[in-house]
Structure 1
């Protein structure tokens, strides 16, 4: 019974399931019928649906681009504002730069900054627009108007981005503004640059330390312009303007000194004295140029261009020095070095070296660095020529004095001009100023040749030169045919050496014993001269055979006449011959004349009084027939001997070397 109940229940459950499934099948069939109708309807509406979906997709794309557009809006607005600012500043820069220079420079700076900002913002906006354009092209957006607007915007922004570059080219606003600043730069320099006046009494030893030649406000304006131009790579124009104006101003300062002599050739100097005068002027003018004109230009360059690289403003200063006339000074010095290598040239070279040496520190400070290499090279070359030329002449002095030994001595027995020149010349060399410079020159020359230098070089060479003069004198004395004249010549020259060197630098070099030896030699040759010349005349007035004896009066008269005639003849010959002889030393001349008078007058007076008057005058003979001179006239004649000729000894300074006879010669090496 239980099993039957269980089966019945199972069948009832299966029935219910089948009934439910049948109902669902009928519902599904009904739904399928409806779905088929819908599918047919959808199929009919599909094209329009596709269109709607595409529209929705396009809107979704634009919505995705919204962020990019928003990011571009800010810079784009900034571009518009900056462009308005640029346009306004360009209008303000049309005004005159000189009316308010600092304000004008401020406007220029603002325009530069605005243009840079415009370029920067344009670049940022262009970057976002290019990104948007790329997105549209990638998503195949075919809205032509929209794409055209984007591309047009990019083109406009590209033009705005190039505004700064266009502003700097010829005719652009910045270019015009910079031109105005350069014009104002020139104007400030021209209006405030004045030549520096030279005074013969200026202190050459004092470097110009006064204020700058331009007022401080002017310097500040120049600095402001320099700073702006330098920031825009237009500094070269300002440097050119500065060099042009300041070199012209410095050149005017120097040309006021009358520097025509700097361009003379060696043949155009009229005389040694003319060249010496020019060298003196050259020294003063060069010191004025370096310590005042170029010193001021150096400090002004450094001040105006202080924010530039030192090499830049040093190049500016170097150009000013070159264009205003510095090479002319060096050229003159080189011209002097090309002259004949005679003795006087040594002193001129020493003078040139002294000036250059005095300015050495100034030269090293002013004309330093690569910018001034041309001036440095020219100056070094000049110093080299001066040193080598001076040393060459100095070491050949004694040799050149010896070469004059073959010349003839003075016919009047005087001191040869060569002797005067050489002694005066050696004294000049030994002057404190010249000796110090000469010693320095010799020391430099030795160092160049890696030779040992001795402090006694100068004194030894002077000693050698004077010794050569002594040998010349001895040689010349032997060439006289007249022995008395030879003694007279030696007397004169020993006197000159002993007296003229006493208390001099040359005398110190030669020593006291040397001076005393020449004094003794003078006395010795004076005695020889008197004995060989005037000392022979009293023999003609001998008393031998003139004793008054009865009956011998007539014979005595003839002998007196004969001896008096012989004396007159000898006296006249001596006087005529020696009337052209010269003793330039006044003391020696007086002494010599006095000794001659002492030899002649007493003997002559005694003879006239003791023999001529008693034997001849009392015999009725006219006294003027045999007595040609009175004792007084003889005294006057003898006392007036040996006077120097004004034309020959009117000048106490030798300006060039003479040989023994007085003929001009040159010491050459």
Structure 2
């Protein structure tokens, strides 16, 4: 067959493909793709043979013109037609049918994605589970998408499918995350005072990040691979996934962690940095697999930067704890003789660091930084650091006790503090580290200072109720009455002075408080009761009896039982030195589940 005839026959066939290719692909996608493939083959034939057919016709026209065989007007029209064919590419021979068919396929590609992309709900089960989420699209839909992509690749339009895929799936992942209320990820350092004020957000951050990685990004990673598996080199689908992850907000999670590292230093920040490290470390394998390719280089860099900031920040705060405790030596002791909040804070804080939640993480963090600095690390370094902190705290006791002008209050303070150490550390991780001999030593110190306190204060009162000169009434009844009055007045004045002063003192521990009150009662009340029974009648008939027989034994017992009660709202100062050299006073309060510095 002559080239023009063959081209004309194929051209007619192309026009015959118009009805099925101008229909909706969704009705029968496989048939539509089959017809499209026939169109592609036809257009390739036309592309390969049109030039040959035109050249063949051009030779015929030249022959006719040279030999004057045909009418001149016919030849002119023929030459014009050939000129038109030469000036137009073979791609226009289908009248734009291929372009229209590919556009319809793009629409179908988007429809399949839109109709089957549903935001993933927050799972009700624990997010710590390592289960990988199932594919978010049915297998038959993935098969159709892959078939469409195959035709798009054949026509150099893969980028259009990639763009649509990123737009739809990226939007779907963002919708899944939106239900979690992630506005806190955009917070800046200027928006909060300290880490404690955003402690709840840090906890949410760990759960939300795990959900995003294990349930959302894991599923998208697998789906990208399934859909674009035959689309060429792996860079195609990994790049697609990287763009979806970036648009969905993985960088915002990393930015939030960075914001926490930039907040001001305090002991609570160490715990929160360890929480952040623990969350990232649990997801380390997932991060390396999902974001390990070249397309995710920005995510890799931001993750490495965050991890370095977390490790350096954690180590800096931890190694400075000893210095911070030593600095508290310069601060005055509590005015009421109670256990300083710093003591409670540091002992509880060190127990947290030695507990199962934080010790493994802190050990790992310290080890990593020392390896960066080419230094050896062993677990004994952590224990030694904790012991040095506690020893520094013990030195503080002596320094603080010397800050009292009242020696009796100093004894009460030391009794309070040593008992706190013994009772609140016995049976704890820190107590085990310190050892039983160390704890018993503090118990003995408590006994010693309790004895000193009683000897120098309340134990002196009974001696004021002397019976000397009263037994034989050697000076007569009037003389005896005057002696009793004098001694009761001295007792009352001394008691009132001591009671008024010590009413503002505090014994923090309930058991120690009750025991101390009972010892005071035992030292005073029996002596007073006996004295009043024997000599009270000498003054009770006096007109000024109430001035001397001021208290009953029951009244004294009730008053003494009410001593040393903690005052609501009391706080003590824990001063933290910052990198600028300034000392900021930070109030330490009791906390719910973790040590708190605000």
Deviation digits for residues 493-547 of structure 1 (CA, Å, limit 9, x no counterpart): 0000011011111112211111011010000000001111111111211222223
Counterpart position of 1:87: 15
Deviation larger for 604-613 or 312-321: 604-613
Deviation larger for 619-628 or 100-109: 619-628
CA apart distance, 1:624:
2.9
Counterpart CA distance in 1 for 2:507 and 2:357 is 33
CA apart distance, 1:256:
0.8
Given the alignment, which residue of 371, 384, 387 partners 2:295?
A: 371
Counterpart CA distance in 2 for 1:392 and 1:500 is 28
- Where in structure 2 are there 5+ consecutive unaligned residues? 577-583, 589-595
Counterpart CA distance in 1 for 2:416 and 2:93 is 93
Counterpart CA distance in 2 for 1:433 and 1:569 is 56
Given the alignment, which residue of 504, 521, 525 partners 1:580?
A: 504
Contact 1:76 1:125 in 2 (8 A): yes
Deviation larger for 261-270 or 394-403: 261-270
Secondary structure of the structure 2 residue equivalent to 1:664: strand
Counterpart position of 1:190: 114
Contact 1:129 1:154 in 2 (8 A): no
CA apart distance, 1:431:
1.0
Counterpart position of 2:592: none
Counterpart CA distance in 1 for 2:93 and 2:214 is 46
Distance 1:325 1:381, change over 3 A: same
Counterpart CA distance in 2 for 1:241 and 1:370 is 22
Secondary structure of the structure 2 residue equivalent to 1:647: coil
Cα root mean square deviation, aligned = 2.8
Given the alignment, which residue of 262, 281, 284 partners 2:204?
A: 281
Structure-1-length-normalised TM-score = 0.82
CA apart distance, 1:640:
1.6
Counterpart CA distance in 2 for 1:527 and 1:331 is 58
**Aligned pairs for 1:411-422 within 5 A:** 411-422=335-346
Matching of residue 165 in structure 1 with residue 165 in structure 2: no
Counterpart position of 1:391: 315
Given the alignment, which residue of 597, 615, 625 partners 2:547?
A: 625
**Aligned pairs for 1:474-489 within 5 A:** 474-489=398-413
Counterpart position of 1:321: 245
Contact 1:97 1:180 in 2 (8 A): yes
Secondary structure of the structure 2 residue equivalent to 1:472: helix
Given the alignment, which residue of 448, 458, 470 partners 2:372?
A: 448
Contact 1:421 1:657 in 2 (8 A): no
- Where in structure 1 are there 5+ consecutive unaligned residues? 1-72
Structure-2-length-normalised TM-score = 0.91
Deviation digits for residues 45-101 of structure 1 (CA, Å, limit 9, x no counterpart): xxxxxxxxxxxxxxxxxxxxxxxxxxxx44333222211111111343222222222
Contact 1:494 1:522 in 2 (8 A): yes
Given the alignment, which residue of 282, 286, 305 partners 1:362?
A: 286
Matching of residue 645 in structure 1 with residue 567 in structure 2: yes
Counterpart CA distance in 2 for 1:551 and 1:487 is 42
Matching of residue 216 in structure 1 with residue 144 in structure 2: no
Distance 1:364 1:146, change over 3 A: farther
CA apart distance, 1:164:
4.2
Matching of residue 381 in structure 1 with residue 305 in structure 2: yes
Counterpart position of 1:263: 186
Matching of residue 107 in structure 1 with residue 35 in structure 2: yes
CA apart distance, 1:305:
0.9
Counterpart CA distance in 1 for 2:574 and 2:268 is 8
**Aligned pairs for 1:252-651 within 5 A:** 252-269=175-192, 272-308=195-231, 309-613=233-537, 615-617=538-540, 620=542, 623-648=545-570
Counterpart position of 1:231: 154
Contact 1:129 1:150 in 2 (8 A): no
